[in-house]
Chains A and B, each alone.
Chain A
Amino acid sequence: MPYPADLKYTKDHEWIRLAGEIAEIGITEYAQDQLGDVIFVELPDPGRRITAGEVFGSIESVKAVSELFAPMSGEVTEVNPALKDHPEAVNAKPHETWMVKIRVSDPQQVASLLDSTQYEAQTRG
């Protein structure tokens, strides 16, 4: 089981790890595998509000650029500083490499996300 059960997932291959009102957001193993070598991640500055289902950043790999979709709404509290120099961490440890932390504004939104079993089923299409 490559997809941790403590994460929730979007159909667009982001994950979110909720801890109280703060949540970490990253991309999944499936997403990093499809992208290939990640070169950099463009993320919103702390303080920016992001909206569930909308684009909040982008991720560039050698192959292509992909958009990042917010799993839940909230205000960005922190951007992972390690990604600037080590974007390849996204490839190496996708489920441990968070991109942004947000303070979620509507905890109920979690109900619309996929759990690890549902997400894994989706990746097998």
Chain B
Amino acid sequence: MAPYAGWDMPVEYSGITNEHLAVRTRAGLFDVSHMGEIEIAGKGALEAVQRISSNDAGALETGQAHYAGLLTPDGTFLDDMLVYRMASSHFLLVVNAANTAKDFAWISEQVKIAGDAAVVDSSSRYALIAIQGPAAREVLQPLTAVDLGEIRYYRFAHGEVAAARVTISRTGYTGEDGYEIFVPPNMADRVWQALTESGRSAGVIPCGLGARDTLRLEAAMRLYGNDIDESTTALEAGLGWTIAWKKSAFIGRERLIEQRERGLSRVLVGFEMLERGIARPGYVVRSGGDPVGTVTSGTQTPYLKKAIGMAYVPVPLAAPGSAIDIDIRGRATKAQVVPLPFYKRVMG
């Protein structure tokens, strides 16, 4: 177990490689109850979410979710989050565990300004269990009367799993199809056991933080604290698609518009090692011997069996095919910029 944002989390159960491959080929079970939940409800809820979120919450239907930035006035990331529209005036934000208190304080402050809505940190009201992988549906379906075939990608439904009242969301952080299930904490063990039992014949195994990290990296999903933070903007992080330019004012918008007009100086790219070596977060990116950037994530991926990573590099080096060196403990090791994501599942 490893300490993680105040939680004791298993890094691995049966080995990162084994768990990673299970998710890509069968399914894996994740306890991600550490994730924070913040709810915003009331007459002014939409207005409040529109103010704090980079994405257009007005475009969400009830029962739909999307990815968004929770931005500072500088357009950098206070956090990243999933925004769920629970009802027309009720939103649930799923945020990073380490940031929940900071996010809650910030959002509460902003909502005071924006108007008529209540903000509640309801993290302790939800356990979150994810089942991810091509077998996720066949494992989960026998445990619920909800027709999982009716839940489209980034949609969710309320119902029961193993007789526990839950919300089933077709989302995840692995690049694989699957579900995240919001469960009352006192029912979490029951749901976990039921999924374990149901998944046994399909080879479903529990997965820890280690595999979660290698899976999300293959899928090029950003990790807060590594790839994005309060020093990096949504544009630099390659997350321009989460910015709803056309909606009226939101926090960070002016600076992002400025940056878009001025042009970026650096941007997050994916790279693949050409020589033997694994890039790790914090390693220096070099070009012609000069330091030009920093690795934010890096590993040897169990599925693609390549050493890959993400790094901020100057825009002239950002085009796929660009040659860079990663300084691996003093040794300049050749790498090449490649398009993101590294892994994209075949849509079923």
Contact = CB atoms under 8 A, between A and B. Distances in A.
Are both chains from one complex? yes
Given A39-B300, A58-B329, A60-B300, A65 B278 contact: yes
Chain A interface residue number, banded = 10 to 19
A39 B277 CA distance: 10
Nearest to B331: A42
B300 A36 contact: no
B206 to A, nearest CB: 15
A63 B329 contact: no
Contacts of A36: 11-12, 15-16, 210
Contacts of B302: 37, 62
B24 interface: no
B16 A37 contact: yes
Interface of B: 11-12, 15-18, 20, 210, 214, 276, 278, 280, 299-300, 302, 329
B299 A62 contact: yes
Contacts of A42: 276
Contacts of B300: 39, 60, 62
Given A37-B17, A39-B300, 12 more contacts: A36-B15, A37-B16, A37-B18, A40-B276, A60-B278, A62-B17, A62-B299, A62-B302, A63-B12, A64-B280, A65-B278, A65-B329
B278 A63 contact: no
A58 B20 CA distance: 24
Return the 10 tightest CB-CB contacts between A and B, nearest first: A62-B16, A37-B17, A39-B300, A60-B278, A37-B15, A36-B16, A37-B16, A63-B210, A36-B12, A62-B300
B35 to A, nearest CB: 22
Contacts of A60: 278, 300
Contacts of B16: 36-37, 62-63
A74 B165 CA distance: 65
